[in-house]
Amino acid sequence: MRIINPATEEVIQEIAEDTPETITEKYELVKKGQKDWAAVPLEKRINAIEKFYSLLDERKDELAATLTREVGKPLQQSYNEINGARKRIEYFIRNSARWLADEWITEEDATREKIVYEPLGIIANISAWNYPYLVGVNVVIPALIGGNGVLYKPSEFSTLTGLHIQRLLYLAGIPEDVFEIVIGKGAAGKALLDLPLNGYFFTGSYNTGKYIAEQTARKMVSVQLELGGKDPLYVMDDIDDVNAVAAAALEGAVYNTGQSCCAVERIYVQEKIYDHFVDAFTAQAKKLVMGNPTDKTTEIGPVSRKEQLALLEAQVEDARKQGGRVLVGGHRREGKGYFFEPTVVADANHNMKLMMEESFGPVIGIQKVKDDNEAVEMMKDTPYGLTAAVYSKNQARAEAVMKQMNTGTVYWNCCDRVSAALPWSGRKNSGLGATLSYIGIRAFVQPKAYHLRG
């Protein structure tokens, strides 16, 4: 498998893929190791994760450089991701003991009752490339703390980062027969589906997620899916500072070159302030600096996968045909690297693919709406249900809209953010189950009910 730098198209490294046979060997190894790991006291398992937390900081220069090289993430954003992952790990370190402790329900009655949380066993984490540290940590850390063995398949586009994660976990004291990495593309992921594992935790696209759900349905084990989104942001007419809201919306749309699951993917603006907002948004989008992701000033890097360029081009072309005004960008950049200009399409509507299908790139459509009711109707017109954001001075008015969203997350006067203390979940085509928060700690254990007499 060739690992390619998306900014230069150079081959960084060639690496051998796992085969179904080597994946089965890894599974057999972890099957043996997991039992001992589950018997290690919780406090000691957490100690190893604390060491991993420190190593991420000590090695951050090397880790950030690798991440930028293999996915094209602007370097400062690679550092931000590693710091963000450490914050999530800190949450798990501080809170796991509380949520995994035995829970007494009745201690006084003749029959005493308690809940004991046991590991699921051996789980697979099939992961995405866009935030390999963040989405990896959501699963791998609580799974290990919970006493599980893990077969971790990083995306083929973030393999080197996956190998760093493996190396640092081993250095931190996680035994090699408890955590194994599986290298490869879709075929390696498929081989994991054929093994008798106790849970499948997936982050990636809707199509692959649906396939995984179908293939694992007969196994009767935990399956969690964190999938794509088409997240709306609505700007009400009562906002004070149009420039500030435009800046926040733009950042939500193009951070990580638009390749965030919870990126702002479509914007609705109330008609009274529509022209003002579009002007402010466009002026700021024109100033975005696209270029070499290792430069400190770069805000927009290449997209990570070459195929995305054609998809973005097709969305912009379709939008143009349906009456969209392309005010900024609209094209891939000539020359080496998978660069696509930050692109703003005004006068968007729901006949456009740009407003209906995940873009996963630095392009955004802005649509005019007459009032909150029309905004709600448009925001809900999607097969996805990850996040939705509302900007307004009035909390009650914003919450009236947020309440109607069929999404796992809603934002008032913020967007494109994840908190370790809150559950991260998608509805409809955006996923099944939740990670993070106490729910994301308990997702990797199963309750056993004890009825005790005598």
Which lies closer to ligand NAD via its Cβ, residue 81 or residue 358? 358
- Which residues lie below 8 Å from residue 386, measured CB to CB, with a gap of 6+? 227, 228, 229, 231, 261, 262, 407, 408, 409, 426, 427, 430, 431
Q: Is 226 in the site for ligand NAD (CB under 6 A)?
A: yes
Please give the Cα distance from 359 to 379 (Å, whole number): 16
Q: Is 186 in the site for ligand NAD (CB under 6 A)?
A: yes
Judged by CB under 6 A, the residue of 59, 60, 114, 190 near ligand NAD is 190
Please give the Cα distance from 233 to 379 (Å, whole number): 8
Q: Is 227 in the site for ligand NAD (CB under 6 A)?
A: yes
The two beta strands, 343-346 and 231-235, are unpaired
The residues in 245-264 that bind ligand NAD, with binding defined as CB under 6 A, are 261
| Contact in structure between 389 and 411 (CB atoms under 8 Å) | yes
The interface region with ligand NAD, picked from 13-21, 206-214, 347-355, 398-406 by CB under 6 A, is 206-214
Which lies closer to ligand NAD via its Cβ, residue 56 or residue 191? 191
Judged by CB under 6 A, the residue of 189, 293, 330, 433 near ligand NAD is 189
Location of structure tokens 């909150």:
372
Residue 238 Cβ vs ligand NAD, minimum distance, rounded to whole Å: 31
Q: Which segments within 370-435 are labelled E, that is strand? A: 384-385, 387-391, 409-412, 424-425, 427-428, 431-432, 434-435
What's the number of CA atoms in the CB half-sphere (13 Å) around residue 376?
13
Judged by CB under 6 A, the residue of 31, 35, 51, 185 near ligand NAD is 185
Terminal-to-terminal C-alpha distance of the chain: 61
Residue 257 Cβ vs ligand NAD, minimum distance, rounded to whole Å: 13
Which lies closer to ligand NAD via its Cβ, residue 202 or residue 281? 202
Residue 105 Cβ vs ligand NAD, minimum distance, rounded to whole Å: 33
The residues in 371-390 that bind ligand NAD, with binding defined as CB under 6 A, are 386
The interface region with ligand NAD, picked from 13-21, 201-209, 237-245, 276-284 by CB under 6 A, is 201-209
- Residue with the CB atom nearest ligand NAD in the bound state: 189
Residue 426 Cβ vs ligand NAD, minimum distance, rounded to whole Å: 5
Which lies closer to ligand NAD via its Cβ, residue 52 or residue 133? 133
Please give the Cα distance from 300 to 286 (Å, whole number): 12
Token couple for 279: 């002007």
The residues in 417-436 that bind ligand NAD, with binding defined as CB under 6 A, are 424, 426, 431
| Contact in structure between 146 and 134 (CB atoms under 8 Å) | no
Judged by CB under 6 A, the residue of 23, 30, 100, 126 near ligand NAD is 126
| Contact in structure between 56 and 132 (CB atoms under 8 Å) | no
| Contact in structure between 224 and 200 (CB atoms under 8 Å) | yes
Question: Which x/- pattern over 148-167 shows residues binding ligand NAD (rule: CB under 6 A)?
Answer: -----x-xx-----------
Q: Which segments within 6-102 are labelled E, that is strand? A: 11-14
Q: Is 6 in the site for ligand NAD (CB under 6 A)?
A: no
The residues in 306-365 that bind ligand NAD, with binding defined as CB under 6 A, are 358, 360
Which lies closer to ligand NAD via its Cβ, residue 205 or residue 351? 205
- Which residues lie below 8 Å from residue 256, measured CB to CB, with a gap of 6+? 73, 77, 130, 131, 263
Please give the Cα distance from 164 to 58 (Å, whole number): 13
Residue 122 Cβ vs ligand NAD, minimum distance, rounded to whole Å: 16
Max Cα distance, the chain (Å): 78
Residue 181 Cβ vs ligand NAD, minimum distance, rounded to whole Å: 12
Judged by CB under 6 A, the residue of 5, 34, 68, 208 near ligand NAD is 208
* Size of residue set near ligand NAD by CB under 6 A: 32
Judged by CB under 6 A, the residue of 15, 47, 116, 211 near ligand NAD is 211
Give start and end residues of each alpha helix (H) in 261-306.
Answer: 274-286
Please give the Cα distance from 389 to 348 (Å, whole number): 18
Which lies closer to ligand NAD via its Cβ, residue 86 or residue 153? 153
Q: Which residues bind ligand NAD (CB under 6 A)?
A: 126-131, 135, 153, 155-156, 185-186, 189-190, 193, 203-205, 208, 211-212, 226-229, 261, 358, 360, 386, 424, 426, 431
